[in-house]
Amino acid sequence: MRDHAHNILAKRVLSPASVSDNTAQVGQIIDRLGFESLTYIISTGSIADADATFAVLLEESDTANMAGAVAVADADMISQTAGTAPETAAGFLFDADDQVRKLGYIGNKRYTRLTITPTGNASAALLSSVAILARPENSPVTQVAA
């Protein structure tokens, strides 16, 4: 079967936003229960500041409230760029207008959270993120609106 839509669940991580300062953009906690695969998708729009950088952090935990959360080890992430640390490859600079990044998680923890932290950002930077859960224990997967 060529259908992929019934084998994934998309979840909002960061709603589309215009970020105009250096406040960390902390994503929704993603629960992997029932899925073996998780990929974060980060999308940028126009980034107005000429010297801003955006660092990506992925945390993991065994608890739903992320108590005791720790940064995910590089070995538990899949980079979009061979030879580059996964979170570094997912991060971006001021010249990354209208781009898409991905960051795969292959660790054992049930809960994860993505954070994007700007530095040197004083103007509007458009960004958002979604999580794609795949390889479900049961399919077809029904997409929920929330």
The predicted pLDDT at position 112 comes to 99
Q: pTM for this one?
A: 0.93
Find the mean pLDDT for residues 93-97.
92
The structure tokens 């906690």 sit at 29
The pLDDT-based confidence of 33 (bands split at 50, 70, 90) is very high
41: pLDDT strictly greater than 90: yes
**Contact criterion met (CB below 8 Å) for 121 and 112:** no
**Pair of tokens at residue 30:** 């993603």
The predicted pLDDT at position 3 comes to 80
Give the Cα separation of 69 and 8 in Å (integer): 26
Size (the chain), residues: 146
The pLDDT-based confidence of 146 (bands split at 50, 70, 90) is low
- pLDDT tens digits along 51-62: 999 999 999 999
Q: What is the DSSP pairing of strand 111-119 with strand 25-26?
A: antiparallel
Calculate the CA 54 to chain-centre distance. 13
Report domain extents, the chain: 24-118
What one-letter code names the amino acid at 28?
Q
